[in-house]
Amino acid sequence: MQVTEEKKQDGDLCKLAAFYHDVFRAQKQALLSNDDHAPSLHLEEALSRAQDGLAALSLDRLQSLGEAFPHLVDDLCQVMDRHGLLDEADLMALRAAQTDSDRRKAVVERWLSGDAGSEPSDFLVSAAVFPWLSSQAEMLLPHLNLALWQKGICPICGAEPSFAAIARQSRLRSLLCTRCGTEWPFKRIGCPYCGNDDQDLQAYYVLQDGRYRVCVCEKCQRHLKAIDLAFVNSEHVSLLVESLLSGWLDEAADAVQRSKA
């Protein structure tokens, strides 16, 4: 039974990896071809916001992104359809959203609030905007002193982190924003969501092989998964990929929280 379950998990991971490989390829092609018209970066405005202790990219600028990438959205729809992730109802909903500005606005607002669900339209918005946001982050990061940030939101786009990493040598913790791909340092003990730094109100669950762990804040009842790089053989680790492939950890943590409730 255990061998069968492990084979099933390996097969699911292979399918997931193949799907995201195609997603990343479509995103890269969109950046290279520049078919869509991404808003330009206003460096002085972004740096001024950062100096004021705000995320570098304003909410108004982010809100304009949801409809800026129609060609990439079309390509991503094809990727999802090719991998069997869209049924007829999904396709109808996506077509309706593409022609209904109110629906598109609602999806973008959910995405910006961090309350995006599992609907295909929610995924499409985040996947279509990611290439632009990550490229803006690459341009902005050299101008920012992330050691001074120490906040539980992304210094670039203001999103909450969804993954973390513990350094191999220093054992310091960094947080990852999967909305724009930014990584920034954060205190080792403490909840980035509610600010709770009482160690007695935080629970840590470490997987048997030590590679992954989940920190659960007993105060706000939220969790953050992390990878311990001391248990990773490769020197080159993509935190974004690790976050995507460890989605089952989120499901497990949510199930535990529901059982407690």
- The structural domains of the chain, ordered by start, are 2-143 (no CATH), 146-260 (3.90.1670.10)
Q: Are the CB atoms for 104 and 70 separated by under 8 Å?
A: no
Maximum C-alpha span of the chain? 59
Which tokens is 94 given? 């996506």
CA dihedral 102, 38, 26, 233 (to 10 degrees): -110
Q: Are strands 212-217 and 163-166 parallel, antiparallel or unpaired?
A: unpaired
d(CA 174, CA 117): 25
Residue 216 pairs in a beta bridge with 203, 223
pLDDT in tens, the chain (261 residues): 333 434 445 667 788 889 999 999 999 888 887 666 666 778 899 999 999 999 999 877 777 665 667 788 888 888 998 998 888 887 777 777 767 777 767 777 777 776 666 678 778 888 888 888 898 899 999 999 999 998 999 999 999 999 999 999 999 999 999 999 999 999 999 999 999 999 999 998 999 899 999 999 999 999 999 999 999 988 889 999 999 888 888 888 888 777 776
Q: Is 235 exposed, middle or buried (0-12, 13-18, 19+ CB in 10 A)?
A: exposed
pTM of the model: 0.84
